[in-house]
Amino acid sequence: MTVLDDIIVGVREDLEARRAELPLEQLTERVAAVAAPRDAYAALGGPASPRTELKVISEVKRKSPSKGDLAQITDPADLARRYEKGGAAVISVLTEQRRFGGSLADLDAVRDAVDIPVLRKDFTVDEYQIWEARAHGADLVLLIVAALEDSQLRAFLDLTHRLGMNALVETHTAEEIERAVAVGARIIGVNVRNLKTLDVDRSIFASLAEKIPSEAVIIAESGVRNADDVADYAANGANAVLVGEALVIGNAPEQAVADFAAAGARAIADRGQGS
């Protein structure tokens, strides 16, 4: 069993417990009372926006399967506000509990604290989780191609759009990018961390990013240690980066977000001059 498979087993168990407490019919009723979602596609630099900036998705992340405990985040709302102050375009909130120490309570706290789009980052394996994300105010959900059949991927993406939300469709290979494009994904992430082994290989980003259509927003995921890594991703086609560990282990998240965005913008400008 791979790491991804093991995580999904736990995700399904926890999902069924929540579904037993709150059936889908009641959950959908709650969605009707939630404020309309924010446009994460535009916030991340959709085609209508000039792509001269590098957008930063800043993550509330307590721990990970590869590193264990990362940070004691006692006030996720305060951290999210600091991210927003630093210029983050989107806040990502991990809600998987067993391996990442997250919760829907974290999502609620962050949603109430910021005015920018919020991503519910979890391992989506059931439509219930998409309704759940919207009920808790998320504007964006994560869909991992490696965890889904094509029919599920298409159905989940369609539901996300019907609810007025967007999806970050995560890929790891050229074949997964083809699958994401085939179902109409508009925000495509290239995760340089192998979810089967947890190994990171930043060098694969450039070759995979060039396979993504220009109308899509390209997100670089994992492997960011510093501004140089951000600049490298931007130079190789990233429109945005998703950063967790490098932000939560530092003591100045606002400045780090601003520094990452600035480094990315410079790399994009240099890329444009060289084309």
DSSP string, 215-235: TSEEEEES---SHHHHHHHHH
Q: How sure is the predictor about 15, in pLDDT bands with cuts at 50, 70 and 90?
A: very high
Q: What is the pLDDT of residue 251?
A: 83
Name the phi and psi angles at 145, rounded to 5.
-55, -40
pLDDT at 1 over 80: no
250 confidence band (pLDDT: 50, 70, 90): confident
Assess whether pLDDT exceeds 70 at residue 247: yes
Q: How far apart are CA 111 and CA 92, in angstroms?
A: 10
d(C-alpha 168, C-alpha 166), whole Å? 7
Low-confidence winner among 46-60, 127-141, 164-178 (lowest mean pLDDT):
46-60
Contacts of residue 29, Cβ cutoff 8 Å, sequence gap at least 6: none
Which residue in the list 55, 58, 92, 121 is annotated as catalytic? Answer: 121
Catalytic site includes residue 59: yes
Q: What is the mean pLDDT of residues 72-93?
A: 96
Residue the block writes with tokens 């590193």: 67
Comparing 5-9, 42-46, 57-61, 193-197, the range with the smallest average pLDDT is 193-197
- Given a cut of 50, is residue 256 above it in pLDDT? yes
Q: Among 53, 58, 59, 92, which one carries the catalytic annotation?
A: 59
According to DSSP, the residues that pair with 200 across neighbouring strands are 193
What are the domain boundaries of the chain? 3-271
The answer for residues whose C-beta is within 8 angstroms of residue 246's C-beta and 6 or more apart is 224, 225, 226, 256
**pLDDT greater than 50 at residue 126:** yes
Catalytic residue among 96, 132, 170, 176: 170
Q: Verify whether residue 21 is a known catalytic residue.
A: no
pTM of whole model > 0.75?
A: yes
191 classed as catalytic: yes
Question: 121 catalytic, yes or no?
Answer: yes
Among candidate residues 58, 222, 236, 239, the one labeled active-site is 222
Say if CB 218 and CB 47 are below 8 A apart: no
Q: Is 151 a catalytic residue?
A: no
The verdict on whether 222 is a catalytic residue reads yes
Rounded distance, CA 194 to CA 191, Å? Answer: 7
The per-residue pLDDT of the chain, averaged, comes to 94
- β-bridge pairing 63-64 and 68-69: antiparallel
Res. 226 pLDDT band, cuts 50 70 90: very high
Indicate the fold that domain 3-271 takes in CATH.
TIM Barrel (3.20.20)
Q: Which run of H or of E encompasses 43?
A: helix 40-43
Where does the pLDDT of residue 275 fall: very low under 50, low under 70, confident under 90, or very high at 90 and above?
Answer: very low
pLDDT at 49: 61
The pLDDT score that the predictor gives to residue 48 is: 58
